[in-house]
Amino acid sequence: MAAPEFVTLQVDDGVGTIRLDRPKMNAIDEQLHQEVRAAAIEASERAEVRAVVLYGGERVFAAGADIKAMSQLDGSGMTAWGRELQSSFRTVAHIPKPVIAAITGYALGGGYELALCADFRLLGASAKIGQPEILLGVIPGAGGTQRLARLVGPAKAKDLVFTGRHVGAQEALEIGLADAVVPDDEVYATAVAMARKFAAGPPLALAAAKRAIDEGLDSTLDEGLALESRLFAELFDTEDQKTGMTSFLENGPGKAQFSGR
């Protein structure tokens, strides 16, 4: 496979940064989303990556899909394109490690749909997010109607999707579209610091917790509880569980060093 042109995975001290860099606005075309998928797979598989930051650079996260490319497709062509795009984003959502979207500038349409695949969204104070697809005569097609409604509820999701309006960082924080807002020039550093805290935790337990929550939301309560119980019990066959409980008994909480085994 050729070296990626628009997306890189940079690893430092347990944190993997999936960096989008397609000038000028990180418009999401077929090549970019496939490179995002490859980076997500690599981040999932590399043991030294214990947490992930999604980042589009200092100016913009991703301003949306490549409308020029999409405008040439009919329904059958878009069926295939949309299936592949959703597959790429699903790969990001299924990274079995904590994932933080560090958002500067615009995260619109497909750009915000990518951010919705993260576990947390950290916004710069001047960031703008939204799902403006309705203004083009279409709807979000890469998870915007589904992940958004699960995040903030159907009424708020319908407001954003029906109007296509841009949402500023403070409103995003108030309604749950963002988890934190920081000064623009502190977005990446803050996201990395947050990721490093997760990276120090037990990888197997974090993966189990993420799976239990995400899959449980799409199940009945009884099914979710059964999944939680199974994953909980399986962790008692890990070295990290022995390390964590021994450390707690001998030294108190928060002092264990986890191996990921």
Q: Is 166:157 a contact under the CB 8 Å cutoff? A: no
Active-site annotation holder among 113, 174, 186, 250: 113
Would you say the C-alpha torsion 194, 156, 172, 132 has a positive or negative sign? positive
Query: Does the annotation mark 42 as catalytic?
Result: no
Active-site annotation holder among 5, 30, 133, 223: 133
Cα separation, 160 vs 24, whole angstroms? 25
The C-alpha angle 41, 13, 241, rounded to 5 degrees, equals 80
Q: Which helix (H) or strand (E) holds 256?
A: none
Report phi then psi at 76, rounded to 5: -70, -40
Q: Is 61:21 a contact under the CB 8 Å cutoff? A: no
Please tell me whether residue 63 adopts helix, strand or coil conformation: coil
Cα separation, 133 vs 144, whole angstroms? 10
Would you say the C-alpha torsion 176, 99, 200, 252 has a positive or negative sign? positive
Query: Does the annotation mark 215 as catalytic?
Result: no
CA distances from 200 to 50, 186, 193 (A): 8, 22, 11
Catalytic residues: 113, 133
